[in-house]
Structure 1
Amino acid sequence: MSNTAANIQRKINSASDLKGVVRTMKAVAASSISQYENSVSALADYYRTVELGLSASLRGSRSNMPLLAPAFHQPAADSQVIGAIVFGSDQGLVGQFNEDLADFAINILRKLGEKPRVWAIGERVQARIADSGVAIEKGFSVPTSVNAIADLVRQIQIESDTQGTSAINAVVYVFHNRPVSASLYQPVSQRLLPLDHQWYHHLIQVQWPTKMPPEFLCSSSTTIAALIREYVFISLYRACAESLASENASRLAAMQRAEKNIDELLENLTRDFDRVRQSSIDEELSDVLAGYELLNTNQK
């Protein structure tokens, strides 16, 4: 296609339309980051409440430790089941978001020396993990809002209880990206289950904030089981919210780079358009002058 003024103008119009789309995606990503970060901050108060409840319950049950034994067992190596929950993204335009996370999770899982049962949230990270040769046992869709995170976490917990992933012989790891700045993130991992003695001793050292100890209206084992379930819920919810905040931060950074590239492209196209237009004007002027000179010559 010849590099005419009309063709260059069409390219300029297309680039301008694309820049409008990029600006819209930037605004959506920026607003999404704040709501996910706010949800993580609000979750801290709820986690503190659950932590205090577990601390009081565990201290009250110290004389009845057999009730807690299933939660604190270390599984035997020959019966160990490795479970992994990986939070990625469904959509693209996020740079190396899914690639970095998938490589990080795969390297850790391979060091464990077991065939893991991987549950992945997000089509993009599922594809990346599958390409590495690790089978995906179950996939989930990424929540599209803060309100949808709780539904996803409940679904994961229900599937876990149904398929026995949270059994005594299971070791469950959670992998996700955690934001570290406005546009940066880092892959992190957490061993979610089983709950070990280090976790237990940390909790019983948490001090109750008042001088009046709490009272329990039901058995300590029932209270502990309910609070542990809430602890798992909070851990998964926070991992999902941090992953979504990181995803939108990565998308915002990608859109900023795209906007910069579009601005440079528009600048080059505008320069080419001005040059082609000036060249066309010069040619027209030359034709006018040539015709004028020819007319004068004929008249003489």
Structure 2
Amino acid sequence: MQTLETLRRRIDNARDMQSVVSAMKVLAVVSIRQFERALESLSLYNRTIELGLQTALMNRPRDAPLPEPDGGGSLLALVFGSEQGLSGQFNEQIVSFTRDCLEESASERVTVIAMGEHVVYRLAAAGLPASASFSIPGSVAAVGQVTHGLFTRIDELRGEGLADRIVLYYHKPRSGASYRPHQRQLYPVDPRYLRELEKREWLSRSRPVFTLEWRELFSALVRQHLLAALETAFAESLLSENASRLFSMQVAEKNIDDYLEELGREFNNRRQADITSELLDIVAGSGALYEAEDEYLGI
């Protein structure tokens, strides 16, 4: 049986861990709220870009064809994992999902870029070594900076003929603390989406006008559309990561509570046993003392 001092140290260690878990829970909740607000802002920005694209497409010259889908050629896979640990099966799930999707792909050449330190070695273990990796931004403010750095690298790979198609693989938040793996084609922009925008009714009586050359305007709008899609993927992945971490911390907190309760019972039992033992020693000592006194008095 463990000593009281050993049990006391174990209880103190468990309480220290409980404090760490509680702090991580708070950080996860704060991060979730930040990225929820970021996604709301990105939704409004995406809507603005969409209206711009609709305006451009309604005025599309006849000699400006829309991009057609191509299942072959080179594929650039952008896989969004986590930069930090303690996020449950977050990275394993997205790697498994990516591998399954790529096995169904008709692309002959696949280049993988990993987002997040913890997903890099899991991709390698799955036979999908990353040619490059980027750090996951730790805050909403850093998302834009990382996105522009990634976009620069994408432009370079397109110039090298390694990104005829670009597909994002990331977790998308659902209701509550749940999420699911998701894939989205970033480039080329889905022609069905563009045709739907082109045919969509303009809800105002007056239509916007523009003075830029059509191809220049359309190219700039598509670029902003792609940047916004990347930022959205980062934000949704980070929101999902923090939801996963919150769930993991809730499970850990319950386990620690159960462990502390068990240690508390063991501590109380041990203390009671020690008290009982001391009382028995006192009683035994008193009995021996009385016997010695009786012998001395000749009773």
Kept in 1: contact 2:69–2:191 (CA 8 A): no
Matched residue, 1:163? 157
Q: TM-score, normalised by structure 2?
A: 0.94
Whichever residue aligns with residue 102 of structure 2, its letter is L
Alignment coverage as a number of residue pairs = 293
Q: Give the 3-state SS of the residue equivalent to 1:107 in structure 2.
A: helix
Q: Deviations over 1:107-148 (max 9, x none)?
A: 101111434101110011111111011121110001000011
Distance 1:22 1:136, change over 3 A: same
Partners of 2:111 and 2:135 in 1: how far apart? 18
Q: Deviations over 1:19-61 (max 9, x none)?
A: 0010000000000001101111111111111111101101101
Partners of 1:98 and 1:297 in 2: how far apart? 74
Partners of 2:160 and 2:170 in 1: how far apart? 19
Whichever residue aligns with residue 153 of structure 1, its letter is T
Partners of 1:28 and 1:168 in 2: how far apart? 39
Partners of 1:292 and 1:286 in 2: how far apart? 10
Whichever residue aligns with residue 50 of structure 2, its letter is E
- The Cα of 1:222 is off from its aligned counterpart by 0.7
Distance 1:38 1:166, change over 3 A: farther
Distance 1:135 1:277, change over 3 A: same
Q: Deviations over 1:154-208 (max 9, x none)?
A: 1111111122169697111101001112221100001111124312211112333
Identity, in percent, stands at 35
CA RMSD of aligned residues (A): 1.7
Whichever residue aligns with residue 49 of structure 1, its letter is T
Matched residue, 1:43? 42
Distance 1:73 1:165, change over 3 A: farther
Kept in 2: contact 1:83–1:165 (CA 8 A): no
> Mind listing any 5+ residue stretches in structure 2 that lack a counterpart?
295-299
Aligned positions of 1:1-300 closer than 5 A: 3-65=2-64, 68=65, 72-75=67-70, 77=72, 80-113=73-106, 114-164=108-158, 170-300=164-294
> Mind listing any 5+ residue stretches in structure 1 that lack a counterpart?
none
Q: TM-score, normalised by structure 1?
A: 0.93
Kept in 2: contact 1:119–1:136 (CA 8 A): yes
Moved more, 199-208 or 89-98: 199-208
Kept in 2: contact 1:97–1:250 (CA 8 A): yes
Larger radius of gyration: 2
Whichever residue aligns with residue 39 of structure 1, its letter is A
Kept in 1: contact 2:75–2:162 (CA 8 A): no
Partners of 1:129 and 1:284 in 2: how far apart? 61
Kept in 2: contact 1:89–1:122 (CA 8 A): yes
Matched residue, 2:297? none
Where has structure 1 moved over 2 Å in runs of 4 or more? Answer: 73-77, 165-169, 205-209
Distance 1:275 1:217, change over 3 A: same
Q: Give the 3-state SS of the residue equivalent to 2:172 in structure 1.
A: strand
Partners of 1:291 and 1:169 in 2: how far apart? 88
Q: Give the 3-state SS of the residue equivalent to 1:213 in structure 2.
A: coil
